Amino acid sequence: MFSEEDLEGTFQPYDDALVVTSRIQGFLVKRVFVDQGSGAKIMYSNLYKGLGLKPEDLTKYDTPLAGFDKKIVILKGQIKLPVVTEGKEVEVNFIVVDAFSKYTAILGRPWIHVMGVVPSTLHQKIKFPFENGVAVMHVDQKAVRQCLVAAINHEIK
């Protein structure tokens, strides 16, 4: 459950996405987008390279993926990696894509369901059951705004 107290500490006014920091493959990864509208779990090539992964680490992934502009996105393959969020670990099958994104990765509905996450864009928090209680993850509103600036700069180029 969320309350008025959960609004404390948020920058107002806002219409921010849920962007968090998670530990992927043992590395602290910023700009991870929690997307309630997506069924995919995406890792972008910059993160793939940054984690030191190699083509032989990937398994084949044949299903085409279309971007918002309806163009087909180049898929490198798929990889299963541990994702740790506020101490809770789950294995995630990421689709690795070679495309520009303001985010490093996207965690969609499958991750939300496995974690038991209840996201709130209003409160800029994510809650989920964990070890006899509820874990609370705060969204990084600064990172969200940095992502927006990165996207605008990319469009200008």
pLDDT at site 100: 78
Domain ranges of the chain: 4-156
Q: What's the chain's length in residues? A: 157
pLDDT in tens, 7-31: 777 776 667 788 899 999 999 998 8
Q: Reduced to 3 states, what is the DSSP secondary structure of residue 79?
A: strand
pLDDT in tens, 93-121: 999 998 878 889 999 999 999 999 999 88
Rounded Cα distance, 99 and 67, in Å? 9
Segment 127-149 shows an average pLDDT of 80
What is the value of pTM for the model shown? 0.84
Rounded Cα distance, 58 and 113, in Å? 24
> Is there a contact between 130 and 65 (Cβ–Cβ < 8 Å)?
no
CATH class of 4-156: mainly beta
- For the chain, percent of residues with pLDDT exceeding 90: 45
At 147, which helix (H) or strand (E)?
helix 141-156
pLDDT at site 144: 67
Residue 133 vs residue 17, higher pLDDT: 133
The total of other beta-carbon atoms located within 10 Å of residue 21's CB is 17
Residue 79 vs residue 9, higher pLDDT: 79
